[in-house]
Amino acid sequence: MERLKVFIGQEVSDSGINYLKEKGYEVVYAPSKNFEDWAKNIADASAMMTRSSVGCPAYVLEAAKNLKVIGNYGVGVDKLDVKKATELGIQVTNGPLSNMISVAEYTMTLILALATDLARLDSETRKGNWTKVRDTTKAMEINQRVLGLVGIGNIGSRVAEYAHAFGMEVIAYDAYAKPGSQHAFITMKDTVEEVFSQADVVSLHVPLTSETRHWVDKRLLSLMKETGFIINCARGGIIEEQDLYDALKAGKLAGAGLNCFEQEPIDLANPLLTLENVIVGPHSAGQTKDSIERMSLHAAIGIDEVLSGKKPSWPVNFR
């Protein structure tokens, strides 16, 4: 019996590759940044594994004749043409639990770093400004402060648990959340405006869609407390970056922790990089050694479930 072919065109960890091989699949592992190479390799493949940071364009999917499933390595699918995959009858799966812990821990790290003025204290201490920076720090405790979550899915819920353990009050807005599915200590709000106006820290945990692109703009930012922080470990395009810069520069917002940007890699001319009350990262919140292994494995599990006729654990389309 001919083995089903799984094509992997990007670098992934061994956990998923080994899982698929153990299940008896022919794994073609040919990492390439050239989509034309993908189109050739995918022609007779039954499945493909993609990374959320790269995705896959429509014309590559159209080159596939036997493709049944795409296992997305990670959570976000905004760079994968899910609409085209659906039109072609291709099941898409992802790994919503794969980097949940890593992103939630990173989010809490940013909250604590901003609250303790950590980045500035580190920088100034290295310059020899020991007494000056020690006497001028604006560090605060997060205990009894209000965390406002925009999005209360897997990652948002885990952040809520961590914040609650630190003594924070947690409020949240999620237009798609099922009533009563949240932790009892989370107070759900009817509008996103309530979250922005009441929270000391706002943390974003929503996907990038046509509805959320540039959602966080001058209007929403103007509702925040001047002592407030905003955290984004979701997708860069959710925030209108010029509006955020203006608010931070004018002192209408105390700080921001940003792990993602509209343009990635970030343009070094981005004015947000000039502000000392902004902590930045290279979209790496979910890139721990632990989550990297899970992302590969969960993508492989999704592929095997579909090809073996089972209902996928984490479907993106055809739910």
The answer for residues whose C-beta is within 8 angstroms of residue 53's C-beta and 6 or more apart is 74, 79, 283
What stretches of 70-191 show up as alpha helix (H) in DSSP?
82-87, 100-115, 118-126, 130-136, 154-165
Residue with token string 């009563």: 180
Quick check: is 183 catalytic?
Answer: no
Torsion over CA: 105, 235, 91, 288 (sign)? negative
The answer for residues whose C-beta is within 8 angstroms of residue 271's C-beta and 6 or more apart is 242, 245, 249
Q: Is 168 helix (H, G, I), strand (E, B) or coil?
A: coil
Do 265 and 282 form a contact (C-beta atoms < 8 A)?
yes
Active-site option among 120, 158, 283, 298: 283
Helices then strands (H, E): number in the chain? 12, 12
The sheet carrying 146-150 orders its strands as 186-188, 169-173, 146-150, 201-204, 229-232, 255-258, 278-280
Torsion angle, CA of 109/111/116/121, rounded to 10 degrees?
A: 60
Active-site option among 11, 141, 264, 276: 264
Active-site option among 158, 235, 294, 298: 235
Residue with token string 């947000």: 272
Question: What's 30's DSSP letter?
Answer: -
Quick check: is 219 catalytic?
Answer: no
What the block records as the tokens of 183 is: 């932790």
Do 94 and 302 form a contact (C-beta atoms < 8 A)?
yes
Quick check: is 264 catalytic?
Answer: yes
Catalytically annotated residues: 235, 264, 283
